[in-house]
Structure 1
Amino acid sequence: MGSVYALAVNGSDNGIASASTLIASGGPEAIVNLWDSRSGDPVTKFVGHSGNIRSILVSDDGEWVLSGSSDSSIKLWSVTSSRLYHTFDMHDDSVWSLFSQDPSLKVFYSSDRSGVVMKTDLRGCVEKHLDFDEGVSVMVCNEHEGVSKVISAGSNLWTATSNSRIHRWRNVNTGIYSLGNGVGEVPIEESAETNEKKEDETAKQNDSQDTDNEKKKEDGEKDEEIKVPDNSIKTSFIQVSGGPSLQFAAAAEAHRTAREISPGGKELDVVVQPVSENPIETLRGHVGLIKHRLLNDKRRVLTLDTAGDVKLWDLVRGVVLQSFDRTLGLDLDTLADQLNPLAFVSNWCQVSVRTGELYVSLEESTCFDAEVYSDDLIIDHTGSEDGSAVRQDMTDIPEDHRVNYGKWVITNLLHNLQQRLLQDEIKPSPNGSATSSTSEPKPSAPIAGSKGTNGYSSSPYDIVHKVEEPVETTTKETTNNVNTSNSQSNSSGGGMFGRFKGFGKSKKDKTPAASTNNTTTPAATTPQEPPTPKAVEYNSLNDLIKDLKKKASSPNHTGSLFNPPSSTDCPFVAFPEHTKIMISEQLPNSGDTMDLYRGTVGTVGTDETRLREVVPGWMGKVLLENELPVKEPPKVGFVVQPEDESKSPSVTAANIRLTAYHMLRARKVLLYVVERLSADPTMSETIQTHKGQQPEEWLELYCQGHKIPPKMTVATIRTRVWRSGGDVVLKYRIV
């Protein structure tokens, strides 16, 4: 037996639960399994459904079993004869819920994925010994979205759907049709008070209807309009074998008369509509998120909640950027397609809304995989929750500086903890004075691609030449500054519910090769770098701090105790203080996790003692040492060709292909083209003509016929423009 989707037991005697003897279960195997509750032994199984079993009922005496399935049918099984007794086909969609207060299941309610709620009455068939096809089935209401649970309570019917509301509907009295000779409109179940005031019933129903309409307008809902053609009649009855029924409808005689007088005796259309179009009461619950779409920039998330509202969130700041008018009827996927930028950013977090909140999970193995250029971090929205513009000014950061999302979000989520640590830890100097650890840290490692300032690499591009087909017996790679960015920077991990999974130890990959000379000779060799010392791994933040203090006590140690990320690497972004944070750890030999800490952005500072023990060492290195786990950077292979070889020369030999860090921008490829053209004597006049101009002012880059913007990365070109295997083919044009 696999997964169990539905479970039921037969009723108890005199309220004694131990009297239940039969357990029925069902699941994706489309089989109803029966078990003896006293011994746990299987009794029998019923096979007949063709879809998942979603709901089961068992009669009090254990003689009958009713099952609802995603194949849209309801089946009645006889336990005594171990066979299918009858199949009901009132529904056109997957049956999600069954309910009955009748000990023998002669009256039961059912609901389906489309929102239809049916009441079926078989009492007349049993008493009159009729076939169950003669039973009465009426559509009580229609929620127009899947009804996961339906319950009857006296004259009321309660329904629950995927939104946060519970609706109360008027129940219907089917007894006069099943047990008598009723005809006409379906009567509403009446309470004792209503029977005493028959004369006010019409007025009450009208008032209630007006109130319902007002409530629906307040909720932003619209009355469901049922358009009935002129040549049709309405009914709320459905045959238990499927299809509309006119057996009990008052319009049945009118239908026969109309058929006789209509031209050619043409049959009129029959429209099935529910007895009640609107609920008489709505219980409003907490609004929760039910759907989301993470945009291509891996920073913004669209969410849909149970109230039907669509919002755009910024994971870096943990706030709502924009709310969309629900009356526009916006589809989440369509809106995401409209807002999605033509960009590619590596996955650095996992986003879900299973808890009803925007839940963002960060893991050591992936949370540092995404980088973005600082000039792409500016977000300017005028539709924020408080009505003000949301703008982050990154103008003081170098043009080619890249920001790491994972480091940014960790640093800002735990900012209060970091500041407490920086303020508390004072390193005694050899002369007896104290050196504060809160001095402004130095910027992180040089950023590849910056032009000879602030110690950055002087090469305008990070491109590796690779020989596709060796010219000589042995040929090795050469590089034009293979300095893949070590830039450390801002990253936000879902300001609503940040979740970190600390596993204590991190995997260490080989360090990327360092830059070599700028030779472009295919047969040149790259000097071997000495092996990188293995990084020390720490189980917790406390272990890291102890080791740093030990090193600081050495007479040869200079500088501050800590070296946290600089304000350039991680500009401060204040998350809302109520943003939840959970730190968990994966249990060994198990896929489960154990929660180590639950708090908020506002409490991490006061929870310093606890967090010293539970914050994993790799996260501590980010906060206090500005150090990330080392991983081999992803690269993209490509070739650069002239668009028209008769007008422009080739910039590489036929057997040369290029590789670059996937965040390399197209502008750097243009710089590479300029350098190669400058070395060609036939292009001296062209180079002199455009001297002093930026490459993008006189060169254009194309891929698959699409003009490539200078700021587009080669990763975006591969995934959004090239979109096929092999090396990306880029073509340049002189304009």
Structure 2
Amino acid sequence: MSHSYSGGRDGVVCAWDLHLDLKQHANGLSASDSKPKPATSKFRASTQAHTHWVNDIVLASNNTALVSASSDLTVKVWRPSSADTEAHTIGQHADYVKSVASPSWADWVASGGLDRKICLWDLSGKGKSLEIDVSGEDVTEKGSVYALSVGRSILASGGPESIVRLWDPKTGKRVTKFVGHTDNIRAILVSEAGDTVMTASSDQTVKVWSVTAGRCMHTLTMHNDSVWSLFSDHPELAVFYSSDRSGLLVKTDTRGAQDMDEGLSVAIAQEHNGCEVIQRFGKRHLEDVEPEVNTLEAVAPWCSIDTSSGNLTVILEPFNCFDAEMYADELTLEEPVEFREDQRINLGRWILRYLFAKLIDEEIKRDEAYRQQLNEIVEKRQAAARVDPPNSITIPTSSGWQATDSPVTTPKANGINFPMTPGLGIGAATPISHLPGVPENFPTPTSPIGKRSTQLSRPSGEDYFSSGINSVEAGAKPVTTPAAVETPTAKEEAPQLPIEGKAKEKEKDAVKSPGTAFSKKFRMGMSFGSKKSGRSASTSTEKPTVVEEKSDENKSESSSNHEKEFDDNFRGVIQKIQNEYEKQLQENPDKSVETRVTPSLPVDTPVLKLPPGTRVIIQEETSGGSANLYQGTVETVGVDADIIEEKAPMWLGEVLLTNTIPPKDPVKISFVLHPWQDTLPSIATTDGNNRLNANRMLRVKKILAYVAERIDPTYSEDDTDALKPEEYLELYCNEQLLPNTMSLATLRAHIWKGGNDVVLYYKANGRKELPKELPQPPAAEKSSVAHVEDASVGTASQFATAAIVAG
């Protein structure tokens, strides 16, 4: 049975049964034979060997193994006749692998790539046996290997240098080189005896070289385009096939000819249909065709699309995969979900949540098993406490509190004092007003916050929040009553307060109120190493400098005492969660541990049923391209949890297990609002400024609500029976009426189509009578900056709305 093998852009390697009579082919057809029937090929087997183009294949190990080279940087071996149908990686380059070659009798294969290396790999998977550096002698950048061939005792290579080099495959030393081509060498053949080398080049020629003579013997010019491939099964290369970029396939036969130049070259085939037409639109303007194939919505770039492998591949990267959002009311879902008004769905988080749904389920099971072991210890401790109750109750003391001889039983402060005026308590002191808590809840030095802060890598906002908290403390102390400052206990205890004490207490209470935006940023971006030691608020202005110097020393001591290393991968997130459990047990030994694995809920990421066979690939960027770290499917990610924990990045673990995405400032769009033909009052400030900026996802109806607040004296958000602003106001851009649900991003991309500030006009539709002039501008207009918040979403930080910018 005759077989053929192929590999293509889709990364698939296929085996075919050709049903050819090889005996008849070997003996030749007699004159009496009738015209042979055309052979019918049949698909035999295939494997998804690679995730990128297959650049070259070669049969090895007496035709029992097929070795493939790919742009996914790997060299793989596939044995179609074995029970194992998968291709296995036997080698990897630092850049695209362009060529492979192997003697049929050998147990190794040679590969060459754009990393300017030739590597010899063991076919049984034992690794690399030899590496040859083929960097260019004159121009190092041109040392890439595009062609390889192996003879009995030599290895030939070629590339952009236009030089053919011969190597000893046993030692890796160069034997000789041939110079003569003027362009990239694309294919090489070596005769069975190793005394003849044939090369094809992009200079449109095929050259024949003599190894013994060390020079070019013949130059064949039967092609008019770049020659890309060569094939011959003749031991002396007397009969060979060549093909060029135009698709022309030529057979050259030099048998019986006294000189190779007298041989016969015959064109036997040519490929014409390289591309298939999908659809024709005729002679029309591109602007007229665009609405037929593209939707009107504008979405921020959040992924990249790759079709080079023949498959539709969506690539998510951490720097932008969380940038795009869409409104929940625009979704078409199988199961209805009740959303908040104008709620937005983050596309990156939504897709990742259900690509790895099986993995999340597996991690939840493992988390439950881990917590069950910890809670069994807690239950035993609680049972023992119930059996043997204490004879007396003692109020414990802590490092932040000290008992005195005074009959007063109320604990006294240790010098950490906070403002008592109501004004300061609302804006700044609320998140940390709980610090002077009861002794039982005072944090121990085993708090996990110090460790977390030393391990997490946070953006520049970390310093912002650190300085913000310090300023709160600095502003709090001067307003404390003198009696509290002069308390002897405070003076004695302040120097003994651990440097992380305040930070731990703040973190503890911040966890209690995760719903606030401040507490979330506090936990994510807080830098605890810069906190100052507790001291009296009556300290002179010169003393903070001394305290600041001490804080650096205490910072290093705290880090050395409490720092714990976590893996910089998906497993590191699990380690942090488990470390939090252990710290909780140390602080509250009698309290059961509750889960900290908190994936996103269906209200934020509606249920998405992806095909189980959808492939999931985790890649790592290298200097030469993307290297695969993991490859599976939506169905198998749960089974492969251990592999993913080791290979996947930490940011993916934070998204899936804690529903945390990297913080990023929203992108805003500037626009100008004018009344249509001055039929309504202007919203400009007293100095005539009407320039605003808002989140690019802000909808037209929110802009109309902003206008209504300023021109409609009767407008009130609380009046549910009144007309909504979008019911009696309209917004225009470039003389087009804008839909109420259109976003600023879509408006700018498809309606405005310009780079300057978007110019918008508002007008009344007659359903409500509005004044043409206002008696006086609203008080808010006198300010240089005004904000409008989208309260329907629930948090102002989620919707950065409009702001009037003076000047």
Normalised to the residue count of structure 1, the TM-score between the two structures is 0.49
Bigger Rg, structure 1 or 2: 2
Normalised to the residue count of structure 2, the TM-score between the two structures is 0.45
